[in-house]
Structure 1
């Protein structure tokens, strides 16, 4: 089943009615069934992935008895392995005209990786499984976001991404909670968590394969006729607006440390029991899912750049609060709220920005390029922060990271306003977007 942009309107558009609606500036929001089903797929898949992520530190260092250095290597793979294939997967989705098929391959690979957890018992086996899972994530993300983009109303693009991220993070919050409950009822019940994870992964792949239609953007095939199979060129990414976004995202990514480090700082400061550690993931993801839609609406109304920058200001506040000599439940909860707000204001908004700044026929490639830059720079940031922590201590390292982030935010304020959609960017039916919404 194929759905184009023109199909979603139900045939010919009533131009007089569209003009009247545009003049009133009140296009009613309608959530596409495609986005709803993709959100459900992401929700059950995140239950699968995050239930494992929440116990992986304890499983590797406690149950398997491996060193923290070994876990650091595995966590680095978890942060950046997906970057290996993101652009290639995005380009394949654009070139083939079947983003669903590429996304399905990614979800399927991650599902197969879940089987490996049932049999793995050493460092190299775990590292290989995590690599396969993250490569699957890298394959599926950009094609999935391309499906969201072409299924969304252009006037409510960030809000549509917010709806998807809200559903996604229901799963991201439920996964660690399920893992926590399993370990609470079954001490050392890691294999049970892996079985539950596999079951949810199978459900996600089944829904995607059987229910989600193969949506395609108009002209996705015609944009690159008679090209060689591997005719990708980096010049395709040299669009001025997209280039500015990539520079800004990379600069911010270099000073964005992994969530695990923030959680370790909080645990070290407050000395709460280790078994409560997975609930920190739950807190962040609950805030993310609650704020994803409101901040998406805010980005559509007042501009995506201000919301994107504001999200990094929330992260900056989280760093300084984590480094402050303040303990207790409220200080920890405030850090989780700020961290969740950061993701709600940046994750879907970045994809929406990239889609607006990408020319027609290169939608998934443009989104993937932004996501690749973020993945690679955050992987480097995590590695560098680990060394910094060892050299100067936890609080000082977080303060240094916060100072660097503050400087990066100031630079991005001057970089991003020049990122504007070109005339060849993805066509947007109806009224033209305001310049401030780039």
Structure 2
């Protein structure tokens, strides 16, 4: 087996001469887009169950089918979006189009008069959202110096997590004032503002490199051969244990219900979920700073720490009791862990992927994340129902341990032994 080179030439135009000048207008624009887009995304997502079951009279199975199809399309779209994003000029058009299409299609869900219309619009919005993800991540690498990738991706993740906090709060106010359909329709406003923020970032980015005849091809093998294979393997193991946060909420609700009743237990579980998002928001930027400070292995080291923290959190969910203060600990641990992991994953890919296939690298990462999350939630849910919640969370913790072993191996791999863009 031939090892990947430890350095390469990168034709991406330099953005900043000094690594401490990381919060460029481009980075600020992309971070703002992530915040606004997540606010716009949370509104129709939170109200979709009510629209389907209460307004349109659909059974719960319809919601599961629509979400399953939408998630599957989003995962496939991320691979396609990665191929599109390999070309610097094309990735900018895809980013703008993806944000605009997602906002419009999601908001139109509020006008649907039948279940099939909801399904088509939701699937279209999710596909557009999937296509834009690799383009946004590759664009972020265009607007900041390689030595500041950690801080840039940490800032973007922090802003995205802030959107996950503000979105549900805005949803509550809109529903109380205007009702479900109007609330979903008005989600187009933050969505279109997110598209405008991406346009702002592009206008403050270096001139796109002109590449002639860039074929539209999903480049999985070149990405793996570029030194990212072991890292992607470790990421895949992590994602197979990265369960949806809804299962964490369910665990808290089940534990708190006997002593507090259904309504109070639900409210307390949602408050713990807010705490999870606050922890993720607080951890993202410091995790990026640490990745930059630690140098060539920084991103992988931060990723390792985040995975280890997830393992501890899942063990906590398996053994904890119904005491609220004790139950808060694994929520904080998991929130801090996801802030570290997401930042470190993006930083590592941006640092190690050759610029000509950076879009494909982010597309592969996003597809692994989507597929792994679906498998993790499905299998953990089945174990929960068939055996117990404790067994489900210990199963997830086992995947974290496998991911840790994979990261140890990845750090010793020649292609991961240097931050290629830093040379």
Q: 1:8 aligns with which of 4, 15, 33?
A: 15
Per the TM alignment, residue 35 of structure 1 is displaced from its structure 2 partner at its CA by: 0.5
Does structure 1 conserve the Cα–Cα contact (< 8 Å) formed by 2:14 and 2:145? no
In the alignment, the residues of structure 2 paired with residue 55 and residue 279 of structure 1 have an alpha-carbon distance, to the nearest angstrom, of 18
* Correspondence for 1:53: 45
Does structure 2 conserve the Cα–Cα contact (< 8 Å) formed by 1:248 and 1:416? no
* Correspondence for 1:237: 223
Does structure 1 conserve the Cα–Cα contact (< 8 Å) formed by 2:226 and 2:354? no
User: After superposition, where does 1:12-411 map in structure 2 within 5 Å?
Assistant: 27-57=19-49, 60=52, 66-77=58-69, 79-95=71-87, 97-120=89-112, 122-183=114-175, 185=176, 189-209=179-199, 212-213=202-203, 215=205, 220-222=209-211, 225-227=212-214, 229-271=215-257, 273=263, 274=266, 279-302=271-294, 303-411=298-406
Identify unmatched segments of 5+ residues in structure 1: 19-26, 433-438
Aligned length: 404
What are the superposed Cα offsets for residues 329-384 of structure 1, whole Å, 9 maximum, x if unpaired? 32343232122112211112111111222113111111221121121122122222
Does structure 2 conserve the Cα–Cα contact (< 8 Å) formed by 1:31 and 1:160? yes
Does structure 1 conserve the Cα–Cα contact (< 8 Å) formed by 2:219 and 2:360? no
Does structure 2 conserve the Cα–Cα contact (< 8 Å) formed by 1:221 and 1:361? no
Taking structure 1 as reference, are residues 417 and 64 closer, same or farther at Cα in structure 2, changes over 3 Å only?
A: farther
Per the TM alignment, residue 39 of structure 1 is displaced from its structure 2 partner at its CA by: 0.8
Taking structure 1 as reference, are residues 404 and 206 closer, same or farther at Cα in structure 2, changes over 3 Å only?
A: closer
SS for the counterpart of 1:381 is helix
In the alignment, the residues of structure 2 paired with residue 77 and residue 123 of structure 1 have an alpha-carbon distance, to the nearest angstrom, of 14
Taking structure 1 as reference, are residues 262 and 209 closer, same or farther at Cα in structure 2, changes over 3 Å only?
A: same
Comparing 100-109 with 88-97, greater Cα deviation is found at 88-97
Does structure 2 conserve the Cα–Cα contact (< 8 Å) formed by 1:176 and 1:279? no
Taking structure 1 as reference, are residues 232 and 325 closer, same or farther at Cα in structure 2, changes over 3 Å only?
A: closer
Taking structure 1 as reference, are residues 416 and 152 closer, same or farther at Cα in structure 2, changes over 3 Å only?
A: same
What are the superposed Cα offsets for residues 45-93 of structure 1, whole Å, 9 maximum, x if unpaired? 1111123333445555566555544444344345443221222222222
Taking structure 1 as reference, are residues 67 and 307 closer, same or farther at Cα in structure 2, changes over 3 Å only?
A: farther
Identify unmatched segments of 5+ residues in structure 2: 1-10
Taking structure 1 as reference, are residues 276 and 330 closer, same or farther at Cα in structure 2, changes over 3 Å only?
A: closer
Does structure 2 conserve the Cα–Cα contact (< 8 Å) formed by 1:174 and 1:282? no
Does structure 1 conserve the Cα–Cα contact (< 8 Å) formed by 2:29 and 2:200? no
Does structure 1 conserve the Cα–Cα contact (< 8 Å) formed by 2:12 and 2:355? no
In the alignment, the residues of structure 1 paired with residue 350 and residue 45 of structure 2 have an alpha-carbon distance, to the nearest angstrom, of 29
Taking structure 1 as reference, are residues 307 and 419 closer, same or farther at Cα in structure 2, changes over 3 Å only?
A: farther
| Superposed CA RMSD | 2.9
Taking structure 1 as reference, are residues 409 and 5 closer, same or farther at Cα in structure 2, changes over 3 Å only?
A: closer
Taking structure 1 as reference, are residues 412 and 142 closer, same or farther at Cα in structure 2, changes over 3 Å only?
A: same
Taking structure 1 as reference, are residues 318 and 422 closer, same or farther at Cα in structure 2, changes over 3 Å only?
A: closer
Per the TM alignment, residue 325 of structure 1 is displaced from its structure 2 partner at its CA by: 4.2
Taking structure 1 as reference, are residues 259 and 57 closer, same or farther at Cα in structure 2, changes over 3 Å only?
A: farther
* Correspondence for 1:21: none
In the alignment, the residues of structure 2 paired with residue 320 and residue 58 of structure 1 have an alpha-carbon distance, to the nearest angstrom, of 34
Question: Which of the two has greater helix per residue?
Answer: 2
